Amino acid sequence: MISTRETVRMALRALRRNTLRSILTALGIIIGVAAVICMVTIGEGAKSRIRAQIEGAGTNVILVFSGSSSSGGMRGGMGSQPTLTWDDLRAIQTELPLVRAAAPVLRTMSPVVSESSTWTTTIYGTMPEYFVIRNWAVDKGVGLTASDMAGSTKNAVIGRTVAVNLFGEGTDPLGQVVRIRNAPFTVIGVLASKGQGGMGEDQDDGIFVPASAFQTRIQGGLTQFVRGPIYVSAMTSESIQPAREEIAGLLRERHRLAPDEDDDFSTTTMAEMTGVFTSATETLTNLLAAIALVSLVVGGIGVMNIMLVSVTERTREIGIRMAVGAQPGDIRAQFLIESLVLAAIGGAIGIVIGLGVAKFVASAFGWSMLARTDIILMALGVSAAVGVVFGLYPAVKASRLDPITALRYE
């Protein structure tokens, strides 16, 4: 019986003797592993980025929407039928012990005109509490205050993108006047940059004005309904669900809904939104990884085909080894080791190439990438397993050759 060390040495020598064939054999494994690593790494990065962006929208946040509409057999989505009033908002702010802060978010798109430029952006009508809920600091100047709300002042706090596009890079926008639908607003603050949001929107591309001024100067007229969602911040992360239940109970009571009536409002949390987006991204990543695994299987078939050719080419060599005392197990072990080494080396090279491609693609498109050690080790293990599985048949075939017939083979 030949020692394992000697069997490994002979297998490696056989691979070095046919370097080009070894490289071509491993090529399928390299491509398959590289594709899997690239897809999974970019997918994990996307999930991490989406989670961070949505969580960046604020901590312990609950969103409250008006109910849906139904008319003539047509149904609208949540928020299509105004049901939340300003009195409801004040009740949420003052009557619920588990609520830290609450603020409305009214919005519209409109061109904004400065002395030197025009920029179309989103106009938000809200309260000072909104920035507390969003953990959004003011970088320059001051933020909106309670007196701005009470006096419907025409003050505005702008995002970084708006500041650059209306006033230019390096220009101080504080004290500058912008016109929104012919109403002049004075810039009193510039918000710290938030970057891209969970839906891919630029969070810095917006102007924030007091909700009371938004109603009278931009929306046109006062109404009893809050025409937008209400952002609510719970006291702690543990109190999100109890606070959500408190909000539902309060609104049902205020709207005089019978026990058998459905809610005329809806609530959701940032955690739920994070789960939806990450689940969708994970599904897409798994789909792409499954497609990439097909190339790994194709690579494994390539290993098997080349090893079968190698058995045929080395039939006489196998006969000589058997004639001088090699057992079928030694022959089988040598060919298994050859296919295992090819697959393992191909897997290692594929991991390096996959990470390189993922880094290049991520930097080129501004995406995130997250290399997980467990995924890398799994890819290496799968490639080695492919070598064993698809190398087994050629190894068994080689070990079953008749020594006399093998010696006569030309």
Compute the chain's Rg from CA coordinates.
Answer: 33
Query: Which one of 210, 227, 244 terminates a domain?
Result: 227
- Residue 186 counted as domain residue: yes
Place of tokens 């007091």: 210
Q: Are strands 118-126 and 206-210 parallel, antiparallel or unpaired?
A: parallel
Residues of the chain with pLDDT under 70: 1-4, 6-8, 10-11, 49-59, 68-80, 197-200, 221-222, 271, 273-278, 280-281, 288, 292, 314, 366-367, 403-410
Whether residue 292 sits in one domain with residue 192: no
Structural domain boundaries, residue 126: 106-227
Cα 161 to Cα 206: distance, rounded to the nearest angstrom: 8
Claim to verify: residue 112 and residue 215 sit in the same structural domain: yes
Residue 263 DSSP label: P
CA distance 32 to 39: 11
pLDDT at 299: 75
d(CA 76, CA 91): 27
79 belongs to a structural domain: no
The pLDDT assigned to 275 comes to 62
Closest CA to 187 of 216, 215, 164: 164
d(CA 132, CA 307): 66
User: Does any domain span residue 387?
Assistant: yes
Q: Per DSSP, which regions of 235-335 are E strands?
A: 265-269
8 A C-beta contact, residue 269 and residue 58: no
- Answer yes or no: do 360 and 280 share one domain: yes
Instruction: Report helix, strand or coil for 84.
Output: coil
pTM: 0.62
| Segment 123-179, tens digit of pLDDT | 999 999 999 998 899 999 999 999 999 999 999 999 999 999 999 888 899 999 999
pLDDT given for residue 219 in this prediction: 81
| Domain contains 301 | yes
Report which of 30, 102, 63, 89 is spatially closest to residue 348, judged by C-alpha positions.
30
Residue 251 in any domain: the answer is no
What amino acid is encoded at 392 in this protein?
A: L
Question: Would you state the pLDDT for residue 92?
Answer: 95
Hey, which bits of 270-391 come out as E strands?
A: none
Residue after which a domain boundary falls, among 193, 211, 227: 227
In a domain, 39, yes or no: yes
Helix (H) or strand (E) holding 324, with range, is none
Domain boundary residue among 164, 195, 227? 227
What pLDDT, on a 0 to 100 scale, did the predictor assign at position 85? 93
Q: At 367, list the tokens.
A: 């995406």
* 372 within domain boundaries: yes
Q: Output phi, psi for 368, to 5 deg.
A: -100, 155
Instruction: Output the pLDDT for position 73.
Output: 41
Same domain assignment for residues 221 and 283:
no
Domain count, the chain: 2
- Same domain, yes or no, for 223 and 319? no
Do 156 and 34 share a structural domain?
no
Question: Is there a domain that residue 288 lies in?
Answer: yes
Clarify whether residues 289 and 402 are in a common domain. yes
